[in-house]
Amino acid sequence: QQQVRQSSQSLTVWEGETAILNCSYENSAFDYFPWYQQFPGEGPALLIAIRSVSDKKEDGRFTIFFNKREKNLSLHIKDSQPGDSATYFCAANYNQGKLIFGQGTKLSIKP
């Protein structure tokens, strides 16, 4: 019931394409879903987040689509750039600011 799952360990797309990273969860009480971006040797950095009362959140090239009924969400990265190559973590809040993380998806953008 506390699981957050990311459907791919790795994903490769061409520069300029839209990268789609998928995430699912089990606990319907989760109410906040951040995505973190991590480069090698660095800590995760908050990229974009959505609350369960919304079904879409957009910030520049990054968009979260959220489906509460299906308990899944996806991160879309439009016009992918080589600098977007990183590991992306989906997470969920389960109790007063405590987050549970997915295992991460390593995204590679081919120039």
Partner 1 sequence: EAAVTQSPRNKVAVTGGKVTLSCNQTNNHNNMYWYRQDTGHGLRLIHYSYGAGSTEKGDIPDGYKASRPSQENFSLILELATPSQTSVYFCASGTGGVYEQYFGPGTRLTVL
User: First-to-last CA distance in the chain?
Assistant: 40
Separation CA 20–CA 94 (nearest Å): 24
CB nearer to partner 1: give 17 or 108: 108
CB nearer to partner 1: give 41 or 83: 41
Closest CA to 86 of 48, 51, 50, 36: 36
Contact pattern from residue 13 through residue 42 relative to partner 1, giving x for each residue in contact according to CB under 8 A and a dash for the rest = -------------------x-x-x----xx
> Does residue 70 bind partner 1 (CB under 8 A)?
no
| In contact, 77 and 61? CB cutoff 8 Å | yes
What is the contact surface with partner 1 in residues (CB under 8 A)?
2, 4, 9, 32, 34, 36, 41-46, 49, 89, 91, 93, 96-104
